[in-house]
Amino acid sequence: MRIAIISDIHANLEALEAVYEFIDGQSIDRILCLGDVVGYGPDPSRCLELIQERCEVVVAGNHEHAVLGLLDLDYFNPVARHATHWTRDALTEAELNVLRSWPLTHVEEKLTLVHGSLDQPDLFDYIQTSWEAHLSFQQLKTPVAFIGHSHVPITFMLTDVVDYSQEDRMQLDPGAQAIVNVGSVGQPRDGNPDSSVVIFEPETGNVERHRVPYDIQTVQAKILESGLPDFLAHRLADGR
């Protein structure tokens, strides 16, 4: 079994299409999504349609909850607030109902999915430190959890202590637990502008992160034409 896991598409159609094209060449059995399909980018409807078509499981991100009015927009910076209002106006009631249908967490025998953290997932806290990972490890009942939200790929591992790695290829130890941040499809923030996708093999514990280039200039032009903040176009090129 080979599972592709994606997150934080942020209405970036060109990035999502490039990632799907990559996935199609990887003998993938399932595609799972960790939320923030919408927000920031210019193509929320089309990205939502493609995610619904191809992802077996989708959990909700903070941008979905913000668009639905389930999250206080004081939580967001002015650019994110502007983009949230823009996205809300761009989606139909039927599309909003799709977002409402997504759970905050999804648990299977060998993996857990959540957008932010397992420690109060409705608050969408970040896992960026060993202590923050520790709080989620206390709630984790499966060998591995996959998360997004920070847009920065990293893996936290629990043995006697909480350790971390930014290696692109890892073999998860049997009997240990891990929290894998899969990075972002539509808006990476680790200095690499290419989309990020993780492939997981539950039987072997093998985790591979891949980076996929896409047509950034086209997305930038769409953002500038859409009425979304110009800042959202400029940040794509440097992965920040």
pLDDT > 90? residue 218: yes
pLDDT tier for residue 12 given thresholds of 50, 70 and 90: very high
Strand pairing class (111-114; 162-165): unpaired
Q: Supply the pLDDT for residue 159.
A: 81
Return the CATH fold of 3-238: Purple Acid Phosphatase; chain A, domain 2 (3.60.21)
Lowest-pLDDT choice from 80-94, 156-170, 200-214: 156-170
pLDDT > 80? residue 160: no
Listed in order, strand segments (DSSP E) in the chain are 3-6, 30-33, 57-58, 105-107, 111-114, 144-147, 154-158, 162-165, 169-171, 177-181, 195-201, 206-212
Q: Supply the pLDDT for residue 163.
A: 87
Q: Supply the pLDDT for residue 123.
A: 95
- In this structure, which amino acid lies at residue 214? Y
Tell me the C-alpha to C-alpha distance, in Å, between residue 103 and each of 34, 59, 62, 65. 10, 5, 12, 11
pLDDT tier for residue 75 given thresholds of 50, 70 and 90: confident
Domain ranges of the chain: 3-238
Q: Please write the tens of the pLDDT for every residue from 168-201.
A: 999 998 888 999 999 999 999 999 999 999 999 9
Between CA 238 and CA 236 the distance in angstroms is 6
Tell me the C-alpha to C-alpha distance, in Å, between residue 197 and each of 55, 66, 144, 184. 13, 24, 16, 7
Q: How many CB atoms within 10 Å of residue 205?
A: 17
